[in-house]
Amino acid sequence: MSVEFDARQHVLVPKHEILSKEKAREVLERYKISPHQLPFIMSSDPVVKAIDAKPGDILQVSRNSPTAGRAIVYKYVIEE
């Protein structure tokens, strides 16, 4: 394939955003947790590569939900 594939364009891939340091701290405070208690996402994940997130970053994933309409999930980027 000559054209670089962008995972973010796929219909089944929800929106991933990197949270600012500020926002990330807020999230951790809100749930009173350390980053390791968040769900993980690997740095090798195509979406993580696409948005250029680095291990240690916290991502906000906004996806469609059959029960709630829209659901927000936070994920912690880990190595490999």
Partner 1 sequence: MMRIPKLIDRVDFGLMSPDEIRKVSVTKVITADTYDEDGYPIERGLMDSRLGVVDPGLRCRTCGSRAGDCPGHFGHVELARPVVHVGYIDSIYNCLRATCRKCGRILLQEPKLEEHRKWIVEMREAGQKWWEMTNKIVKSASTTEKCPYCGEKRVSLKLEKPTTFIEGKNRLTPSDIRERLERITGDDAVLLGINSKIARPEWMVLTALPVSPVTVRPSITLESGVRSEDDLTHKLVDIIRINQRLSENIEAGAPHLIVEDLWELLQYHVTTYFDNGISGIPPARHRSGRVLRTLAQRLRGKEGRFRGNLSGKRVDFSARTVVSPDPNISINEIGVPEHIARTLSVPIRATEHNIEELRNLIRRGPDIYPGANCMISPDSKRYDLRYADCEELAKTVEPGFIVERHMMDGDVVLFNRQPSLHRMSIMAHEVKVLPGRTFRLNLSVCPPYNADFDGDEMNVHAPQREEAQAEARILMKVQEQIISPRFGGPIIGGIQDHITGAYLLTRKDTLLTREQSQQLLATVGMFVDLPKSAVKEKGVEYWTGKQIFSMLFPKELNLSFKAKICENCARCLKEECEIDAYVVIRDGQLLHGVMDARSYKALDRCEVLDRIVKDYGTTAAREFLDRATKLSIAAAVMLGFTTSINDEDIPPEAKERINEVLDDAQEKVNKLINIYNAGELEPLPGRSLRETLEMRIMEVLAESRDRAGEIAEKYLGLDNHAVIMARTGARGSMLNLTQMAACVGQQSVRGERLSRGYRRRTLPHFKLGDLGAEARGFVSSSYKDGLKQLEFFFHAMGGREGLVDTAVRTAQSGYMQRRLINALQDLRVEYDGTVRDDRGAVVQFVYGEDGVDPAHSDNGKAVNVEKIIERVVGG
Residues that bind partner 1 (CB under 8 A): 31, 33, 36-39, 65, 67-68, 71-74
- Candidates 29, 10, 11, 13; CA nearest to 58 is 29
Residue 17: CB atoms within 10 Å: 13
Shortest Å, Cβ 37 to partner 1: 4
Shortest Å, Cβ 71 to partner 1: 4
d(CA 66, CA 11): 16
Do residues 49 and 13 lie in contact, with contact meaning Cβ atoms separated by under 8 Å? no
d(CA 24, CA 10): 26
Residue closer to partner 1 by CB (options 1, 12) is 12
Residue closer to partner 1 by CB (options 9, 67) is 67
Residue closer to partner 1 by CB (options 6, 40) is 40
Shortest Å, Cβ 1 to partner 1: 29
